[in-house]
Amino acid sequence: MSNRASAPPRLPLRALLPLTTAAFVTVLTEALPAGVLPAMSGGLGVGESATGQLVTIYAVGTAVSAIPLVTATAAWPRKRLLLTSMLGFAVANTITAVSADYLVTLAARFVAGIAAGVVWALLAGYARRLVPAHQAGRAVAIVMAGLPVALSLGIPAGTFLGHLVGWRATFWVVTALAAVLVAAIVAFVPDQPGAPAGRLVPRAALRRPGVPAVLFTTLVFVLAQTVFYTYVATYLGQVGLGDSVDVVLLVYGIASIVGIWYVGAHIDRKLRALTVAGTVLVAVAAAALAVLNDSHVLVYAAVTLWGLGWGGIPTLLQTAVADAAGDEADSAQAMLVTLWNVAMAAGGAIGGLLLDAAGPMTFPWTMLVLLVPVLAVVLTSRGFPKPVR
């Protein structure tokens, strides 16, 4: 048999990369206020803690809509659903770019959050259905790479552009990117059918062993991440790096890309070990940011560990819940997206309270405390199985 005949099929990158870009647009829309928070606060005439709630309201939109919308649109062709969501991003970011009213901006961010709920519930399953089963983990990793790329390139670039020509320009750029992405999805992404009507039953997924543990891990880990990341610019200002937010986020994002690359290469064999490693790295980074922040070099080192640890976590959690849920994976993904965004909403709100009450130095300590139960569950739960020899 020739090498050509025995070679495994290649991943359909032309179809997967638009899905990666959809994840990029979703994360960029979600996290951009964190990078331009001080300028956006001044432009809207509200305090920084209030501006941080633009991340919170986005997450609320996703949390309240993910399960109902995913259930209601279960029978829709997947391509039409993805295109509708991308158009929702374009409209919401356009309104954000032109609005001078805080309440109008809140409403636009809520609409963007609704679109995000559909996208996050859709992407992992879409990617898995475009490849053979043995390539599912890698396909999801490629799509989820849009998350760290948004953090490493999108947010720093948006922060730099905001400093250069104003924060509103950054949202115009995201609108343009969403419009280009719509054309790419039409051209390159194969359609996939929806599920039969009434197929999504969240309670059935919850009865699958391991699913509740993965959902708990998602809720607490994302809460820990969001409490800190939403106000990372404020924290960096406190430790003397306020003028280097874009550089710090670039370091964080590049480390995240390295993390997701490694996870993508090993996820199908080492899911539990990778999740433990990611949790430990983020915890060590939080401890360093709490006690070693007098040194800018050590802050950069800690941020690098943070990115390395967090980069693969979204892929690991989505793969774990899909594997644990089996044929109830769509329902489990919708619940994961809901809890993810409940945690984001709570993280933004709790972070704002902590900022007003005790200052930004409480953020790394909060992250560290929350990661203790996460590590315990990952080490013991059937939702994160040991490798099969």
The domain total for the chain is 2
Mean pLDDT of 265-276: 86
Q: How confident is the model at residue 308 (pLDDT cuts 50, 70, 90)?
A: very high
| Same structural domain, 121 and 185 | yes
CATH of the domain at 247: 1.20.1250.20
Q: 2 lies in a domain?
A: no
Cα–Cα separations (whole angstroms), residue 224 to 175, 181, 263, 366, 369: 29, 31, 21, 7, 8
Say which range, 106-115, 294-303, 313-322, 372-381, has the weakest mean pLDDT.
Answer: 313-322
- 128-150 pLDDT per residue, tens: 888 887 777 788 888 888 877 88
- 38-89 pLDDT per residue, tens: 888 888 888 887 888 888 888 788 878 878 887 788 788 889 999 999 999 9
Last residue of a domain, one of 194, 226, 252: 194
Q: What is the pLDDT of residue 3?
A: 47
Last residue of a domain, one of 126, 161, 194: 194
Residue 379 lies in domain: 204-388
Instruction: Tell me, yes or no, if the pTM score tops 0.85.
Output: no
